Structures are given as C-alpha cells and as structure tokens.
Amino acid sequence: MYRLYADYCRRLGTVPIQQSLYIAQKKRGIRERDVTSVALGSEVDVYLKWKLEHMEDPSYIQLDTLYKGVPTILKKLQKLGNSLYILTSRVGRAKLMNQVKQYNIEDYFIEIINTPGADGARCKTKGLSDAMVCHHIHGQSMVLVGDSEVEVQAANNVGIACISVTYGLRGKEFFHSLGQSQTVDSVSELTDSLLALQKSMV
C-alpha cells in the first residue's frame, strides 16, 4: 500500500510522508484519502483511482508475503477438522488464484470467495451469507479473521464471531473504538485464540 503511494508521489515529483508515519496513521483508522492528501493535495482523487487500477499489478502483488507461521496454523486447523475459506475483495480472480498457488496454500481451503466492489462491508457480507447457505454453515460454528473494520462489520451483519489482527491495516486501539474486543497481536496469538474458540464451540 505504501509503495503505491510513494511511487505515485515520485511520478508527481512530490515527497511522500515517511513509511512509519503512513503506517501509524493507517493503524489509527485514518482514511487513505486523508493520509495521502498531505503530499498529493488536489491530486488525491486521481491517485485513489490510479491506485485501484494498479494495486494488483505484478510489481506490487509480488511484494505481498505470507506472515511467518501461517502455513503451520492452516495445517493445524485443517487437521483438527475445520473447514477453511478465503474471503477477499480482489478485483482480478486469476491473479488471486495464481498468488494462492504460489504460496502453496490452496489445498487448505474449501472455497476462495472473491467479493470485489466499492462497498467492502456490503460485498463481504453477501459473500459470507452466500457461503453459509451454499455450505450449510451455522453462524455459531464460524469465525471470521480480518485486519480491518470491513471484516468486523461483515461479521456483525451475519451474526458470527470475528477476530481482528492488529499486525495488518489497523491497530488495537482502533478496533477497540469500534467495540471489537477480540484482537490478536501475532500469528501465534491468533492460533491460540482460534483453538480456544474451537473448543468453546464443541
């Protein structure tokens, strides 16, 4: 996300804010428009459109990496009989599938649910609802893990549990301001929380 912003600033010949400041503001829940307008000014709307058009370019997608420990947690959850799904709002499904295959994690998932659209919460709510109907999933046995307010809203909309990770787009204080108390600070803590939640659902 920061690389997209910094590259666009360089195209304009302007100086981007420091990466640490960008991340800190995003974690506080400040909108991309407000974070980037400091350097971009009236160009911010053009940038936001450009970002949507280019954020899935190979040069940016290749910067995505799996957090350490993710394959281990997926293997453990699958071995314990959990049905796993990916819920994402990527635009290009072919690029998404290639990336999942590149990570060698596709076999862990029952379905990869792709819900592109401007209204992330609405799109992900529909994706969740459709999957629950299609796979006969009861809300009491389901938990959504996400890194933004969109997942919190979608989980609330369909009445399922949600665990928010604070090592992604948003920080703990922001999630708490939304009334979201289930937060984890690491993949290891996420593993423990999911296993504890699974025991409570049995």
pLDDT at 202 over 70: no
Q: Which of 167, 193, 153, 124 is nearest to 27 (CA)?
A: 167
CA pair distance 48, 104, nearest whole angstrom: 32
Percent of the chain's residues with pLDDT above 90: 90
Residues 6+ apart with CB under 8 A from 68: 187
CA pair distance 40, 10, nearest whole angstrom: 10
Digit-coded pLDDT (tens) for 143-189: 999 999 999 999 999 999 999 999 998 999 999 999 999 999 999 99
Q: Answer yes or no: are the C-beta atoms of 28 and 174 closer than 8 Å.
A: yes
For residues 31-44, average pLDDT = 96
Q: At 113, is the secondary structure helix, strand, or coil? A: strand
* CATH class label, 70-201: alpha beta
At 39, list the tokens. Answer: 């350097």
Percent of the chain's residues with pLDDT above 70: 100
User: Which pairs from 135-140 meet CB under 8 Å and 24+ separation?
Assistant: 135/83, 135/110, 135/111, 137/83, 140/201
Q: Determine the Cα angle at 114 with ends 110 and 119, to 5°.
A: 140
Digit-coded pLDDT (tens) for 73-83: 999 999 999 99
Q: Pinpoint the alpha helices (H) of the chain.
A: 2-12, 19-27, 32-40, 44-54, 58-61, 70-79, 93-102, 120-134, 149-158, 172-177, 187-201
Model-level pTM? 0.92
Digit-coded pLDDT (tens) for 91-122: 899 999 999 999 999 999 999 999 998 899 99
- In Å, what is the CA distance from 6 to each residue of 9, 17, 18, 19, 130? 5, 8, 9, 9, 38
Beta bridge partner(s), residue 146: 164
Domain boundaries, the chain: 2-61, 70-201
Mean pLDDT of the chain: 94
